[in-house]
Every structure is written in C-alpha cells, then in structure tokens.
Amino acid sequence: MAGSTPEARLAVVTGGARGIGLAIAGELIADGWHVAAVDVNPKAIARLADHPDVEAGRLLPTELSVVDRPAVERFVAGAVERFGAVGALVNNAGMTLPATFLDQGDDDWDRIVDVNLKGTFVMSQVVARRMVEAGEGSIVSVSSVSAHGVRTGPPAYAAAKAGVEGLSRLMAVQLGPVGVRVNTVVVGTTATPWLLGRKTEEELEAMRETTLTGRIGDPQDVGRVMAFLCSPAARHVHGQLISVSGGQWMP
C-alpha cells in the first residue's frame, strides 16, 4: 500500500489458521504481506507454532472471535500500533451446521448468522474506521455459491452469505469515495481438509461434475484471487462479486 514500509504492510485474515484462510494467508505472504491469521479455534492456532512463516515473523496467529467487538477493537488497535496500519482485511471466518429449511432450528440459525454475517460486519467496521483515517485499504469478504441456490444446504448459511454480499455492496458505495476498496469472492466447492475428510470419492466425483472445469477448487485458487484483490494491481476493481467456483455459479 502507498506510504507503507514493508514492515508495516499488514493484512488480516479471519478464519486464517486453517483451510482456505491459511491458503489465503500463504498467498498474501508470498505477495509481500505480513499476515495476522485470526481464528477462534485454539487448536488450529497451536498447530501453526512450527510453521516456517510463523518462525520468520511473517505469519502472526491470533486467537480471536470475530463477533467479540471489544476484543476485535483491542486487536486492531494493537495491530495499528505495531504496523502503522492495516492495509487489507479478508473476511473468511465462517461456519455452518447441517440442516434443511424444514428442520433448521433457531439456535443454529442465530449461531450461523452471527459468525458469517455479524462477524463480517464487526471486523469490517472496526478495520474500516482505521483505513478511512489512513485514506486507503482493501476489504474482501468470502461468500458462497450457496447464496445463489447452486447447492442445497442449511438456510441460515445461504441467507448469511447473501447478507454478506449485500453488506459488501453497501460498504463499497460508502467507503469507495474515501479510499477503501471492497469486493466479494463467491467460493464454490473447495478441497479443504474439512471437506476431504468427510466425503467419499463418489461424493467428490459428483461435486466435480457440478463444475465447468471438471475439478474441485483448491484453497490456493481462492488465495491467489484474494492476493490480487488486496494488491495495488486491483486498484480499479471495486464493488464486485467475483466467482471462484469453476463455473458452478457465473455472475
């Protein structure tokens, strides 16, 4: 980012200690960023202790709940004090629970919407206030093809991701004029350890057949797009829904 030294070039990735989030962090590090990998899962944070990028000081695992506003505010204030600014935020943290429309419970609805939608709002608002002061920054949020009816699943997740897209459009309109770019990446079926550990080869093959490329995406496919959107190379990309789904959903 303009005006930042390499030491002060910080990106924050929520849900960044595992799966797609860790791949995003890796691509940002390869692009020259220091990355704070925020995650609520203490075991995932602990597993990064011997990661080479942690040992080199480029990856900074941080245990944090994205819906805990006081904790988020303390974290962001500390990041700004240490690095001078937060140049990029990737809202990747999310969760879901199995259900259909007819059996989704209220408690699960609240939990899913809280993490996926409210967490994106809280993190974005706290970070954006700092970005506005600096006059620059990039915020990218993760949505899902589930928001577009491409695959079945819990209604709370589909609704929350659709909400993320609407929130991101509003943020783009209000933050663009003050120097903060906002975009959304719509992710399709991706071969995370979580997915591969729960699906049979027959189920995975059925998923491959839903794409136009004949393959399930890799976490790095998402990470590379995120790194581009956070970079100055994407300075004129703003307010967009970008599908990284192998054609499962086409805007």
What whole-number percentage of the chain has pLDDT above 70? 97
Annotated catalytic, 157?
yes
Structural domains in the chain (count)? 1
Give the structural domain span for 72. Answer: 6-243
Q: Is residue 36 part of a domain?
A: yes
Q: Answer yes or no: is pLDDT of 146 > 80.
A: yes
Q: How far from the centroid of its chain's Cα atoms is residue 60's Cα?
A: 16
* Average pLDDT for 195-221: 90
Q: Is residue 1 part of a domain?
A: no
What residues are paired with 183 via a beta bridge?
140
Q: Is residue 59 part of a domain?
A: yes
pLDDT at 151: 78
Tens digit of each residue's pLDDT (9 = 90 or more) over 209-227: 999 999 999 999 999 999 9
Residue 81, domain CATH = 3.40.50.720
Q: Is residue 250 part of a domain?
A: no
User: Among residues 35, 157, 159, 231, which one is catalytic?
Assistant: 157
Q: Is residue 249 part of a domain?
A: no
Q: Please tell me the distance from the alpha carbon of residue 198 to that of residue 204, in angstroms, as a whole number.
A: 10
Residue found under tokens 């998402």: 222
Q: Is residue 251 part of a domain?
A: no
Q: Is residue 239 part of a domain?
A: yes
Tens digit of each residue's pLDDT (9 = 90 or more) over 31-65: 999 999 999 999 999 999 999 999 999 999 999 99
Q: Is residue 168 part of a domain?
A: yes
Residue found under tokens 């509003």: 170
